[in-house]
Amino acid sequence: MATATMTSKGQVTIPKPVRAALGIDSGDRIEFVEVERGQFAIVAATRSIRELNGKYRGRRNSPVSIEEMNAAIRKRATRSR
């Protein structure tokens, strides 16, 4: 298991095996995605949005309305508190 220590400035050096597995290098962006309360996944944010083209095709037959989006956001927001 790879570990790291946070500095007094909140900085962490990502261990080399983790950087290699994520395919990230100096200057690349990463995102911290909350998986569960208090648990986060580190995701490389260096890829183009164009790579998602077609990935979710067929998952939903009709467009989502603004009301449905707002309801989903409200539901998720109340669950995370």
Model-level pTM greater than 0.75?
A: no
| Residue 51 covered by a domain | yes
Q: Average the pLDDT over 68-77 and give the result.
A: 89
| Residue 2 covered by a domain | no
Range of the domain at 43: 16-79
Element (H, E) at 34: strand 30-36
CB 46 within 8 A of CB 29: yes
pLDDT digits (tens, 9 = 90+) for 10-60: 999 999 999 999 888 888 889 998 888 989 998 888 766 777 777 777 776
| Residue 50 covered by a domain | yes
| Residue 75 covered by a domain | yes
Q: For the chain, how many structural domains are there in total?
A: 1
Query: Half-sphere exposure (CA, 13 Å, Cβ side) for 30?
Result: 17
